[in-house]
Amino acid sequence: MSALRSARGIITLTALIWASIASAATITVSLDLQGGYGNSTLKACGITHHYTLYRRGEPIKVDGAVSPAPTASIRVKLKLKQCLNGSFRTIWTGHARVATNGTYSGTFPARRPGSYFARAYYEGPTKVKSDKRYFRAT
């Protein structure tokens, strides 16, 4: 009976160690768009969503973070997709360097009027995407 308790204890301890390793290894990427002049619920490419409004031609400022903060110098990919002919298609890709505290910032263009979404991608040992941020250039 004592050996059975020891085995259960070892199994429980092993499960706790694996759970802590898995939670420590979870990477998240955030993306926030700054400076819009308004908000609206709109439908584009068959998707109704909350959109932040920007003026065409003005650069859109982005802020975000990778958590936990990376120990080495990394970049995140920023991708912009526009609703064209009924589907969202990539029209611009750029990169932002992540600071030692895990934050990044940058700008991207809204050259044409239309409905868009932006997303950030961390492409380290595991690939992680931020949530989509929908916006409209008018």
**Can you list the domains of the chain with their CATH numbers?**
27-137 (2.60.40.640)
Residue 1 reports pLDDT greater than 80:
no
pLDDT of 80 reads 95
Residue 128 reports pLDDT greater than 50:
yes
Residue among 101, 115, 130, 100 nearest 27 (CA): 130
* Mean pLDDT on 39-51: 96
In angstroms, the CA 107 to CA 109 distance is 7
* Mean pLDDT on 34-60: 95
Confidence band, pLDDT 50/70/90 cuts, at residue 111: confident
CA-to-CA dists, residue 25 to 28, 54, 65, 84, 129, angstroms: 10, 36, 16, 37, 15
In angstroms, the CA 132 to CA 11 distance is 40
pLDDT of 71 reads 87
pLDDT of 2 reads 58
pLDDT of 73 reads 85
pLDDT of 23 reads 44
